[in-house]
């Protein structure tokens, strides 16, 4: 199987199951024009995030790694009227664009973009004693995944769903020779999940974004 096939199949399901979405397409175009890396979740993955918000009944969602706000739009749209999303982005320019994009998608009332270092922001939330989040999507710098997990744990309650993107990395997760800090980061994250003894699994994915995957865990 080739990338060409994975892309064609992803586009088939996007057309067939999702249909077109003018706001999301405009947001992707704005991200491209602004020169952001093209590493957003795919449309089908965005729909999966939205379904997971709805299926879990999440009202408070935390995202690490906003980029241009594409996944934040999917997550926020899935929230009930009294739900809220907090998304954290380290780059000022990305955070500013994401705020514009969330406004364009009409979800600004329920979505907040916080610009800052992910770990520092989470430490601040813990210090402030914010209520636990119901769903946390970790999609920021991969070497920090273990630190994000340790902090996310303190912002969770029993039943919180924790998702983390890009843990398969074209199979590099099992390359014992790899010295890539991103591979080492996601591998440590998975080892930490094991040590915590949480119910966790991985969904390996192929599609527009090649071969990758995400973990899903439930905080006991
Ligand atoms: C990269 C980051 C991501 O979150 C992703 O989904 C794909 C690629 C990256 O940093 O290359
Ligand atoms: Mg990602």
Band of pLDDT at residue 1, cut at 50, 70 and 90: confident
Q: What is the percentage of the chain residues whose pLDDT exceeds 90?
A: 99
CA distance 207 to 22: 21
**All structural domains of the chain:** 3-218 (3.40.50.150)
**Ligand 1 atom nearest to 209, measured from its CA:** 7
Classify strands 210-218 and 199-207 as parallel, antiparallel or unpaired. antiparallel
Fill in the DSSP letter of residue 147: H
Give the model confidence (pLDDT) of 115-162 as tens digits: 999 999 999 999 999 999 999 999 999 999 999 999 999 999 999 999
Kindly give, in sequence order, each residue whose CB lies less than 8 Å from that of residue 85, ignoring residues fewer than 6 positions away: 61, 62, 63, 72, 75, 76, 79, 107, 110, 111, 112
Ligand 2 centroid to Cα of residue 104, in Å, is: 22
Specify whether the CB–CB gap between 98 and 88 falls below 8 A. Answer: no
Q: For 11-41, how does the pLDDT look when each residue is reduced to its tens digit (9 = 90+)? A: 999 999 999 999 999 999 999 999 999 999 9
CA–centroid distance, 21 to ligand 2, in Å, is 21
Q: Ligand 1 in contact with 39 (CB < 6 A)? A: yes
Can you give the pLDDT at residue 41? Answer: 98
pLDDT for 64: 99
């Amino acid at each position: 199987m080739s990338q060409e096939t994975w892309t064609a199949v992803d586009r088939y399901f996007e057309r067939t199951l999702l249909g077109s979405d003018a706001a999301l397409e405009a947001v992707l175009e704005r991200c491209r024009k602004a020169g952001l890396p093209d590493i957003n979740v795919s449309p089908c993955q965005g729909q999966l995030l939205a379904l997971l918000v709805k299926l879990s009944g999440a009202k408070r969602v935390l995202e690490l790694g906003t980029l241009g706000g594409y996944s934040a739009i999917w997550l926020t749209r899935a929230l009930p009227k009294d739900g809220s999303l907090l998304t954290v982005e380290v780059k000022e320019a990305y955070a500013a664009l994401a705020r514009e994009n969330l406004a364009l998608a009409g979800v600004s009332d329920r979505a907040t973009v916080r610009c800052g270092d992910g770990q520092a922001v989470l430490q601040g939330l813990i210090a402030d004693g914010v209520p636990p989040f119901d769903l946390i999507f970790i999609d920021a710098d991969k070497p920090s995944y273990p630190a994000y997990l340790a902090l996310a744990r303190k912002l969770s309650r029993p039943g919180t769903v924790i998702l983390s993107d890009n843990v398969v990395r074209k199979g590099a997760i099992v390359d014992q020779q790899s010295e890539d800090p991103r591979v080492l980061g996601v591998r440590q994250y998975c080892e930490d999940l094991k040590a915590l003894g949480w119910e966790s699994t991985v969904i390996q994915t192929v599609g527009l974004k090649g071969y990758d995957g995400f973990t899903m865990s439930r905080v006991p």
